Amino acid sequence: MHVDLRESWFIGEVEIPTRLVLAPMAGVSVQAFRRQGRRYGAGLVCSEMVSVAGIAHRNERTLDYLRVASDEHPLAIQIFGSDPGAMADAARMVEAAGADLVDINFGCPVKKVTKTGAGCSLLDDPDQAVRIVSAVADATPLPVSVKMRRGTENGSRVCLDVGPRLVEAGAASLTLHPRSAKQMYTGQADHALTTELVDLVDVPVIASGDITSRARAQAVLATTGASAVMVGRAAQGNPWALAEIMGEEAEPSREEVVAELLLFMRETVRELGEFRATGFLKKFYGWYLGRGRFPKPFKQELVTLATIDEVELRLFAAAPGAREVLKRLESEVVPVDEVLLELPISIYGGG
């Protein structure tokens, strides 16, 4: 069965224009990444998860304030924590910032998060998970979505027990990444669980995990009955993966790769400032220029350069035609009209 990925669907009263969702990823899902995802076909984009403790205490460890651009909507802002009252307060702030959905993280497997009773550990405390969803749903009129894993242990099926309870508590949508916390990102996502969850709940389910191509996205949608697919790691430095899933010609030229990287760099500098962006961007060089697009020594060289300007000059030297492509991209991108969200971003890992 062929699924039309360009067909719109709804989470609550929020219309999502395509059935492709860009995953929330810590240390990745900055505004520049989300806006790029929208350009390449994502119907819904998500912030990286925001620490409720950071919101409440204005923790000095937090990195910056989350920014919301006018062309990101619909946008979900993801929050994590273990206290229902604090989560409710955070949800009200997310609403005030102009987000379209509040997403709750019950999926992060990273120890810094789970040891606080947040993230995936809440699947082992379903009563508390239900209290959190209920508190958030009562605090805001925005639709509430929940992202979760199958459970903490390999082979766990706890998501099938907890999922319907979360919907009863007020969740308008569920995202399932059917790996355990112990698996992290190893092995395969067991989408047979996604099929079972779809049959158990009457809200949209988003299938996450191993969505790396159009064929895979179509297969998962057709076999599970999920409303949408979520793409994460496959889109890191590779927005053309999103375009391919949406059915467009996806293999970029060297000039297109460099131009898209340069645009991403400039947008990230605008967002984070040059000092923070210089370190933040280093992992993206390998992501963009990998997959056989450029020699490995060239990628390694870029990481050693001290300034963004030096990186730009080296990229233009490697692909002179990128200048014209970059001019075209910059002329097509909507000028930033953003709302500053006075909430600090979590520095923890994501799930």
Q: Looking at the annotation, which residues are catalytic?
A: 108
* CA 305 to chain CA centroid, nearest Å: 29
**Stated length of the chain:** 351
- Both tokens of 192, joined, read 């047979």
Q: Do residues 42 and 11 lie in contact, with contact meaning Cβ atoms separated by under 8 Å? A: no
CA distance 35 to 45: 8
- Both tokens of 323, joined, read 């200048």
CA distance 133 to 170: 6
- Residue given tokens 């300007």 in the structure block: 309
Per residue, the 3-state secondary structure of the chain, as one string, reads CCCCCCCCEEECCEEECCCEEECCCCCCCCHHHHHHHHHCCCCEEECCCEEHHHHHHCCCCCCCEEEEEHHHCCEEEEEECCCHHHHHHHHHHHHHHCCCEEEEEECCCCHHHHCCCCHHHHHHCHHHHHHHHHHHHHHCCCCEEEEEEEECCCCCCHHHHHHHHHHHHCCCEEEEEEEECCCCCCCCCCHHHHHHHHHHCCCCEEEECCCCCHHHHHHHHHHHCCCEEEECHHHCCCCHHHHHHCCCCCCCCHHHHHHHHHHHHHHHHHHHCHHHHHHHCHHHHHHHHCCCCCCHHHHHHHHHCCCHHHHHHHHHHHCCCHHHHHHHHHHHCCCCCEEEEEEECCCCCCC
Q: How many CB atoms lie within 10 A of CB 340?
A: 10
